[in-house]
């Protein structure tokens, strides 16, 4: 009996929302918003600053060259 094709993508990548950073699709329920600028992003692009437990977008990350922190 033939095996069904295995989908290696996470379940949340089949949504209608589009991440502004990686341009990937995701479902709205998995959206994360930057604590500083409130921009939406997918779970793959979020930068977690564990010392302060903040979730930031790549542009607001303190160590990034273009960051605001």
**Residue 26 · residue 15 · CB < 8 Å:** yes
Number of domains making up the chain: 1
Range of the domain at 49: 33-69
DSSP assignment string, 5-48 = PP--S-GGGGSSEE-TTT--EE-GGG-EE-TTT--EE-TTT-EE
Q: Is 14 within the bounds of a domain?
A: no
pTM of the shown model: 0.67
Q: Is residue 12 part of a domain?
A: no
Per the domain annotation, does 5 fall within a domain? Answer: no
Task: For residue 48, tell me if it sits in a domain.
Answer: yes
Q: 26, exposed or middle or buried, with CB in 10 Å at 0-12, 13-18, 19+? A: buried
Q: Is residue 3 part of a domain?
A: no
Is position 15 within any domain? no
User: How far apart, in whole angstroms, are the C-alpha atoms of residue 60 and residue 39?
Assistant: 10
Q: Model confidence over 5-17: pLDDT tens digits?
A: 666 888 878 889 9
pLDDT in tens, 34-56: 999 999 999 989 988 877 888 99
């Amino acid at each position: 009996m033939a095996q069904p094709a295995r989908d290696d993508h996470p379940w949340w990548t089949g949504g209608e929302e589009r991440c502004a950073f990686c341009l990937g699709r995701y479902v709205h329920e998995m959206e994360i918003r930057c604590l500083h600028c409130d921009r939406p992003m997918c779970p793959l692009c979020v930068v977690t600053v564990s010392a302060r437990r903040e979730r930031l977008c790549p542009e607001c990350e303190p160590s990034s060259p273009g960051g605001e922190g």
